[in-house]
Structures are given as structure tokens and as C-alpha cells.
């Protein structure tokens, strides 16, 4: 699913809103330890590329969560706003924040090797381990 659309949404309290110019319709779940610690469970997200504009930026806080990524949240209500790759500025935005969630399809799970045994999604998805995911971003060998 490579088609994109414009997506809009807000945090829980409405202090921060956003417009994503290239929202995909593909939902993914990340089961890594960091995402589960951040939100209490898998991070269900939509990839939105780098063209994301925020209003209410004075209420947007950013946590430097790793060498390669940072996480944004509303400093008023605590809503998670994004996971952003530092190098490309690609945003993964929690699916529940979008005003229009129609036509979205749960297609991918990553860090499946870190998923705890106490839950299991029934959807048929592409499932990648952390190693398989990172291999997709590795530079090609000469």
C-alpha cells in the first residue's frame, strides 16, 4: 500500500494538532521493548513520511529515545504524538490520533521476536524480527 493521503489529528486535549501530507493507509505494530515501555503495549502506528506540520508546538515535547530516533508527546495531556527517525525525519504517528481512520489496514508487525506471549493479534500481517527490520535499512554491500 503505497498510496498516500493527507491526515489530520490532535492529541487528547487538543493542545497539539498535526497535518501529515503523506499518510499511508497501512497500520503497523512495533513490539520492541522501548515502544511497549513507552505506551504500555505495542505501538500501533501509521507511517507519515517527513512532511508533517504541527500546531501548538510550544506544547510539544521531544524525548531523545535512541541514537536513531526521538519520540514526541504533548506536555499538557501526555498523548504520544510521534516516533521520528532522526536521519530522515520520517514520522510514525499513533493510529488513534487521526481524525479519519477509515480505510486503514493492519499490515505489519515489527520486533515480533520481542512480543510478549500474553497477547496475539489475529490479523494476517507481515511479521519481522528486529534483525530483519534493521537489515532493510542497511547500506547495500559492494
Q: Where are the domains of the chain?
A: 4-123
pLDDT at 139 over 70: no
* β-pair partners for 105: 26
Q: How far apart are the first and last CA of the chain?
A: 30
DSSP codes joined into one string, 15-50: SSEEEEEEEESEEEEE--HHHHHHHSS-EEEEE--S
Cα–Cα nearest to 94, from 41, 33, 131, 132: 41
CA distance 141 to 29: 29
Query: Is 53 strand, coil or helix?
Result: strand
pLDDT at 1 over 60: no
Q: What is the CATH number of domain 4-123?
A: 2.170.150.70
Residue 114's pLDDT band (cuts 50, 70, 90): very high
* The Cα angle at residue 36 between residues 33 and 42, in degrees rounded to 5: 115
Model's pTM, two decimal places?
0.90
Average pLDDT, the chain: 94
Q: What is the pLDDT of residues 66-113, one digit of tens each?
A: 998 999 999 999 999 999 999 999 999 999 999 999 999 999 999 999
- For residue 37, the surrounding DSSP H or E stretch is helix 33-39
Residue 137's pLDDT band (cuts 50, 70, 90): confident
pLDDT at site 142: 64
pLDDT at 2 over 80: no
Amino acid at each position: 500500500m503505497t498510496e498516500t493521503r493527507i491526515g489530520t489529528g490532535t492529541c487528547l486535549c487538543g493542545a497539539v494538532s498535526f497535518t501529515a501530507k503523506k499518510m499511508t493507509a497501512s497500520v503497523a505494530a512495533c513490539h520492541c521493548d522501548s515502544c511497549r515501555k513507552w505506551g504500555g503495549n505495542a505501538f500501533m502506528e501509521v507511517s507519515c513520511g517527513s512532511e508533517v506540520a504541527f500546531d501548538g508546538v510550544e506544547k510539544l515535547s521531544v524525548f531523545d529515545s535512541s541514537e536513531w530516533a526521538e519520540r514526541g508527546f504533548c506536555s499538557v495531556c501526555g498523548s504520544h504524538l510521534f516516533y521520528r527517525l532522526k536521519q530522515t525525519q520520517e514520522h510514525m504517528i499513533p493510529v488513534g490520533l487521526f481524525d479519519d481512520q477509515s480505510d486503514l489496514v493492519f499490515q505489519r508487525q515489527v520486533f515480533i521476536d520481542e512480543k510478549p506471549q500474553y497477547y496475539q493479534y489475529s490479523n494476517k500481517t507481515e511479521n519481522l524480527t528486529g534483525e530483519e527490520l534493521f537489515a532493510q535499512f542497511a547500506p547495500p554491500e559492494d
